């Protein structure tokens, strides 16, 4: 080792940060340091400082770059602003590269808190963000609810008055369910025949489940074609909405589709499904997305990753509401008929007899002089009570022709006097017995008596008029004239002055009496007629007489015989026999006194006296 020392050249610019270590400078420095570690050499330089600046140089040479980097990084970490800038620069790409699951888990709490804070701070912001997402869903949900209500209303109205309706109303009452629920349960007969789960992007079939006995063409082709049709509608009408075709209906067949983020579920339903089925299908789709999210997203036509998905779809296919085909209930129908036919007949007959009864009551009410106070039908019997004028039509007689059984009618009538003019008229006619020459009539609600009558009858009529006025009934007697009896009196005298004479011992008058008889018959007939006109009945008393000769008993007998003979002769001349009364006076009423031996032709006669009734 030599003591001569080369001046040490300190490497000033040798250790460039960007280049490799300056090997020449390092070599020189190491040689220099090596020399100095020689103990002898060290002994000669007592004043060698404890800290050797070359060490620092050496450090610079060896790790200068790292020191510089470290200082930069330290500085970066110390300055919050710069550090934030640096992290901000790499954060997007770092997030993109991070494994999604782990990143999601790490960020979830922070994101949750952030969202929570945001809502607390300004709920409007989140509402604005979610508005376009929620609005279609809300709209769809409301639409379905309205459809459901209409469907329910429609079905309820359709069945409300049917036989089924009655049956279902009973079921609703029995089970406690609402009537519309029961109606929907029975009327919505449907069956989910196929369910397709279709990849939304490629239209490839993910899974297909079919109901028993349901057939279809190749499900893979159908799946793609359904997808193509969705695209076709969307493109044709420039529909931007992310949902798909909701419903396709073809006769009895309906295709309902529910669109999820990665897959569309299409249910093929035969019949009339309830709107709630939409929700069930949507639930199944949601569950499938929850369970198989990753496999669905990465689906590339290989469904080996989606084992078990068909079990989920099967729940859709199992849904059906079948019409209860228990056969026609003949027994029930027969039983119902057995009960209902007699009931209907009974009802009809009751109704008919009720109608007949009412017709009878109406007929009674229309009758003058009858007032119906109460009527009822009870236990197949008819009860009626009221007032009736004795002169009114007999209620019982009105039953004829009404087909109401008189035996079933129980009536109770109180008599009263009706002041209706026609009844007053009837009563007057009965009590006054007006002569034929008097006419009693009703003129504008008043009773009027007009014509000729005997004075005493007119007096009676006036008395009746006064009595009636107290009841407010007017009987006008001003038009009554007194009957002219002069002519009658003349006739009466003429008749009473006539005698029919007989020969002694004879009961038949002689031929000379024939003209007398003829005249007498005419006079009697005329008198009877005139008397009848005046309201009186004339009676003609034929009294037979005998002379005083012979025995008294024989005289009585012959006098009666003479009266009888004249009666017969008058009868023969047209005089009504009931007007003629006969009696035999014997010798007790002689016209002239006589000698009982010779007798008197004047006393052998029949005399006539008139009485008016």
In three-state secondary structure terms, 545 is coil
For the CB of residue 197, give the shortest distance to another protein in the complex, in Å: 13
For the CB of residue 271, give the shortest distance to another protein in the complex, in Å: 24
Q: How far is CA 369 from the centre of its chain?
A: 44
Residues contacting 267, CB < 8 A, separation 6+: 192, 194, 195, 255, 256, 257, 258, 277, 281, 316
Residues contacting 396, CB < 8 A, separation 6+: 406, 411
> What dihedral do alpha carbons 70, 76, 79, 82 form, nearest 10°?
170
What 12-18 contacts at long range (C-beta under 8 Å, 24+ apart), as own/partner pairs, is 14/61, 15/60, 15/61, 15/64, 15/65, 17/64, 17/65, 17/68, 18/65
305 binds another protein (CB under 8 A): no
Query: In the complex with another protein, which residue's Cβ is closer, 140 or 234?
Result: 234
Query: In the complex with another protein, which residue's Cβ is closer, 201 or 287?
Result: 201
Query: In the complex with another protein, which residue's Cβ is closer, 59 or 201?
Result: 201
For the CB of residue 303, give the shortest distance to another protein in the complex, in Å: 8
For the CB of residue 214, give the shortest distance to another protein in the complex, in Å: 16
Query: In the complex with another protein, which residue's Cβ is closer, 212 or 217?
Result: 217
Binding mask 193-212 for another protein (x = CB under 8 A): ------x-xxxxx-------
Closest CA to 294 of 263, 315, 264, 259: 263
Query: In the complex with another protein, which residue's Cβ is closer, 40 or 235?
Result: 235
For the CB of residue 241, give the shortest distance to another protein in the complex, in Å: 14
Exposed / middle / buried, residue 41 (Cβ in 10 Å: 0-12, 13-18, 19+):
middle
Closest CA to 541 of 583, 513, 586, 493: 583
For the CB of residue 96, give the shortest distance to another protein in the complex, in Å: 18
Query: In the complex with another protein, which residue's Cβ is closer, 262 or 413?
Result: 262
Token pair recorded at residue 496: 């009473």
Query: In the complex with another protein, which residue's Cβ is closer, 225 or 399?
Result: 225
Query: In the complex with another protein, which residue's Cβ is closer, 303 or 600?
Result: 303
Query: In the complex with another protein, which residue's Cβ is closer, 18 or 217?
Result: 217
Query: In the complex with another protein, which residue's Cβ is closer, 268 or 531?
Result: 268
Token pair recorded at residue 594: 């006589």
Query: In the complex with another protein, which residue's Cβ is closer, 219 or 390?
Result: 219
What 48-55 contacts at long range (C-beta under 8 Å, 24+ apart), as own/partner pairs, is 54/8, 54/10, 54/29
241 binds another protein (CB under 8 A): no
Considering only residues 480 to 519 of the shown chain, the ones binding another protein according to CB under 8 A are none
Considering only residues 210 to 239 of the shown chain, the ones binding another protein according to CB under 8 A are 217-218, 220-222, 224-225, 228-229, 231-232, 234-235
Measured between alpha carbons, how far is 278 from 255 in angstroms, rounded to an integer?
11
Query: In the complex with another protein, which residue's Cβ is closer, 81 or 217?
Result: 217
For the CB of residue 239, give the shortest distance to another protein in the complex, in Å: 12
Closest CA to 12 of 35, 36, 28: 28
For the CB of residue 291, give the shortest distance to another protein in the complex, in Å: 22
For the CB of residue 230, give the shortest distance to another protein in the complex, in Å: 10
297 binds another protein (CB under 8 A): no
Closest CA to 261 of 294, 301, 219: 294
Measured between alpha carbons, how far is 569 from 215 in angstroms, rounded to an integer?
125
* Three-class secondary structure assignment of 243-299: CCCCEEEECCEEEEEEECCCEEEEEEEEECCCCHHHHHHHHHHHHHHHHHHHHHHCC
Q: How many residues does the chain have?
A: 613
Query: In the complex with another protein, which residue's Cβ is closer, 220 or 362?
Result: 220
For the CB of residue 264, give the shortest distance to another protein in the complex, in Å: 12
For the CB of residue 155, give the shortest distance to another protein in the complex, in Å: 35
301 binds another protein (CB under 8 A): yes
DSSP state of 99: -
Alpha-carbon distance values, 129 to 123, 126, 259 (Å): 10, 5, 21
For the CB of residue 102, give the shortest distance to another protein in the complex, in Å: 28
Measured between alpha carbons, how far is 73 from 67 in angstroms, rounded to an integer?
10
169 binds another protein (CB under 8 A): no
In three-state secondary structure terms, 46 is coil
Q: Considering CB under 8 A, how many residues would be counted as binding another protein?
A: 22
Measured between alpha carbons, how far is 122 from 119 in angstroms, rounded to an integer?
5
62 binds another protein (CB under 8 A): no
Judged by the rule CB under 8 A, the positions of this chain that interact with another protein are 199, 201-205, 217-218, 220-222, 224-225, 228-229, 231-232, 234-235, 300-302
């Amino acid at each position: 080792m030599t003591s001569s020392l080369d001046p040490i050249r300190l490497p000033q610019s040798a250790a460039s940060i960007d280049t490799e270590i300056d090997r020449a400078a390092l070599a020189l420095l190491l040689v220099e340091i090596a020399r100095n570690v020689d103990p002898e050499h060290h002994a000669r330089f007592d004043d060698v400082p404890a800290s050797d600046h070359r060490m620092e140089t050496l450090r610079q040479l060896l790790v200068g770059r790292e020191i510089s980097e470290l200082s930069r990084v330290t500085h970066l970490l110390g300055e919050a602003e710069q550090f934030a800038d640096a992290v901000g620069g790499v954060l997007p790409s770092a997030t993109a590269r991070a494994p999604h699951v782990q990143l999601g888990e790490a960020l979830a709490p922070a994101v949750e808190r952030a969202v929570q804070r945001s809502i607390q701070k300004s709920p409007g912001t989140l509402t604005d963000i979610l508005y376009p997402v929620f609005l279609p869903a809300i709209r769809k949900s409301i639409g379905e609810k309205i459809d459901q209500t209409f469907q329910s209303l429609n079905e309820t109205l359709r069945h409300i008055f049917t036989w089924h309706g009655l049956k279902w109303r009973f079921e609703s009452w029995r089970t406690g369910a609402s009537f519309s629920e029961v109606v929907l349960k029975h009327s919505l007969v449907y069956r989910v025949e196929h369910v397709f789960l279709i990849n939304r992007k490629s239209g490839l079939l993910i899974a297909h489940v079919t109901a028993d006995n349901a057939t279809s063409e190749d499900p893979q082709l159908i799946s793609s074609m359904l997808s193509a049709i969705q695209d076709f509608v969307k493109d044709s009408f420039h529909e931007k909405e992310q949902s798909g075709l909701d419903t396709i209906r073809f006769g009895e067949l309906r295709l309902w589709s529910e669109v999820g983020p990665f897959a569309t579920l299409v249910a093929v339903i035969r019949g009339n499904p309830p709107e709630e089925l939409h929700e069930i299908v949507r639930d199944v789709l949601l569950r499938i997305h929850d369970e198989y999210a990753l496999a669905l997203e990465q689906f590339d036509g290989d469904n080996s990753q989606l084992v078990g998905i068909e079990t989920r779809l099967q729940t859709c296919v199992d849904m059906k509401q079948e019409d209860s085909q228990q056969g026609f209930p003949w027994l029930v129908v027969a039983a119902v008929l057995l009960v209902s036919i007699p009931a209907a007949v009974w009802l009809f007959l009751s109704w008919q007899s009720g109608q007949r009864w009412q017709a009878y009551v109406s007929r009674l009410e229309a009758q003058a002089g009858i007032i119906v106070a109460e009527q009822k039908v009870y236990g197949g019997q008819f009860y009626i009570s009221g007032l009736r004028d004795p002169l009114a039509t007999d209620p019982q007689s009105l039953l004829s022709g009404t087909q109401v059984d008189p035996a079933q009618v129980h009536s109770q009538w109180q008599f009263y006097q009706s002041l209706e003019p026609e009844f007053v008229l009837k009563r007057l006619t009965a009590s006054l017995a007006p002569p034929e020459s008097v006419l009693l009539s009703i003129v504008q609600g008043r009773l009027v008596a007009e014509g000729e009558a005997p004075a005493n009858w007119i007096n009676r009529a006036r008395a009746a008029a006064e009595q009636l006025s107290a009841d407010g009934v007017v009987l006008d007697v001003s038009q009554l004239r007194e009957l002219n009896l002069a002519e009658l009196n003349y006739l009466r005298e003429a008749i009473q002055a006539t005698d029919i004479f007989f020969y002694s011992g004879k009961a038949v008058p002689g031929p000379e009496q024939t003209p007398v008889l003829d005249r007498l018959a005419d006079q009697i007939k005329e008198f009877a007629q005139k008397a009848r006109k005046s309201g009186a009945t004339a009676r003609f008393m034929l009294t037979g007489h005998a002379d005083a000769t012979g025995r008294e008993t024989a005289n009585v007998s012959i006098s009666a015989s003479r009266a009888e003979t004249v009666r017969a002769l008058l009868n023969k001349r047209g005089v009504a026999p009931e007007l003629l009364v006969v009696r035999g006076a014997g010798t007790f009423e002689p016209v002239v006194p006589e000698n009982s031996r010779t007798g008197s032709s004047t006393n052998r006669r029949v005399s006539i006296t008139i009485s008016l009734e």
